[in-house]
Amino acid sequence: MESRTNGEMTTRDCFFDQSGSGYYPYMPLNVCCLTVQKDAIMDRNEVTKKIVAAKVARKLTWAEIAGKIGKSKEWTTAALLGQMTLDAQQAGVARDLFDLTDEETAWLQIVPYKGSLPGAVPTDPLIYRWYEIVNVYGTTIKELIHEEFGDGIMSAIDFSMDIQREPNANGDRVQVVLSGKFLPYKSY
């Protein structure tokens, strides 16, 4: 392992495993030329916190950010909250929007640990409603998908989502459209 006297280490030090057998899984090759400080952020959650703080300080909306990144507001929000991987160009736009360091920008290009809500049952009221919807309607959704398509699942990978405001005289409604490819189970 390379050592430096000026307190820096290279990503070779950070991202090669100790046995020297290679890169950690999912490490994009284009981030291997960075030099980072030993006290640098080494947690994707810290980058997410910085992005959200900058978004609030700059009074940006997710739709405005998505327009600059070139993806839907739904995908962009998920990505910048740590649930998706940005490519180099998208991460560069995020770097410029949020004044990220090279290391923070590199974290945006690493495959995240998805589904990383803390705890088994969400405590945020809005997220809990989704948990409640799945608890109440999950078996109905499953039954109707199986009746229409057969034995299989709806993909959350080949997937899109659209969230819109639906004006209503009794109070505006939230319209959420989820679209996922049907993946049948195979017999073997």
Indicate the pTM of the whole model. 0.67
Judgement on whether residues 100 and 136 belong to the same structural domain of the protein: no
Highest mean pLDDT among 6-10, 77-81, 108-112, 169-173: 169-173
How confident is the model at residue 40, as a pLDDT?
64
Supply the mean pLDDT for the chain: 83
Domain for residue 119, yes or no?
no
Is residue 147 annotated as a catalytic residue, yes or no?
Answer: no
CB-based contacts of 113, cutoff 8 Å, min separation 6: 44
Supply the range of the domain harboring residue 24.
Answer: 8-107
Concatenated DSSP letters for 107-131? HTTSPP-SS--SSSS--SHHHHHHH
Q: Could you read off the pLDDT of 177-186 as tens digits, one per residue? A: 999 999 999 9
Domain for residue 88, yes or no?
yes
Spot the catalytic one: 4, 58, 129, 173.
129
Spot the catalytic one: 46, 58, 143, 155.
155
Distances (CA, A) of 124 to 8, 40, 121, 128, 132: 40, 30, 9, 6, 12
Is residue 155 annotated as a catalytic residue, yes or no?
Answer: yes
Q: Could you read off the pLDDT of 88-141 as tens digits, one per residue? A: 999 999 999 999 999 999 999 999 887 766 678 888 899 999 999 998 899 889
Whether 70 shows a pLDDT value over 50: the answer reads: yes
Domain for residue 118, yes or no?
no
Domain for residue 116, yes or no?
no
What mean pLDDT comes out for the span 151-155?
97
Is residue 129 annotated as a catalytic residue, yes or no?
Answer: yes
Q: Could you read off the pLDDT of 5-54 as tens digits, one per residue? A: 444 444 434 443 344 433 334 444 444 444 555 566 678 999 999 999 99
Its sign, for the CA torsion 53, 58, 64, 67, is: negative
Give the CATH number of the domain where residue 88 resides. Answer: 1.10.260.40
Domain closes at, from 81, 107, 133: 107
Domain for residue 169, yes or no?
yes
Give phi and psi for 68, each to the nearest 5: -75, -35
Judgement on whether residues 150 and 97 belong to the same structural domain of the protein: no
Domain for residue 162, yes or no?
yes
Separation CA 18–CA 118 (nearest Å): 29
Tell me how many domains the chain contains.
2
Give the CATH number of the domain where residue 154 resides. Answer: 3.30.1160.10
Domain for residue 36, yes or no?
yes
Spot the catalytic one: 116, 132, 143, 173.
132
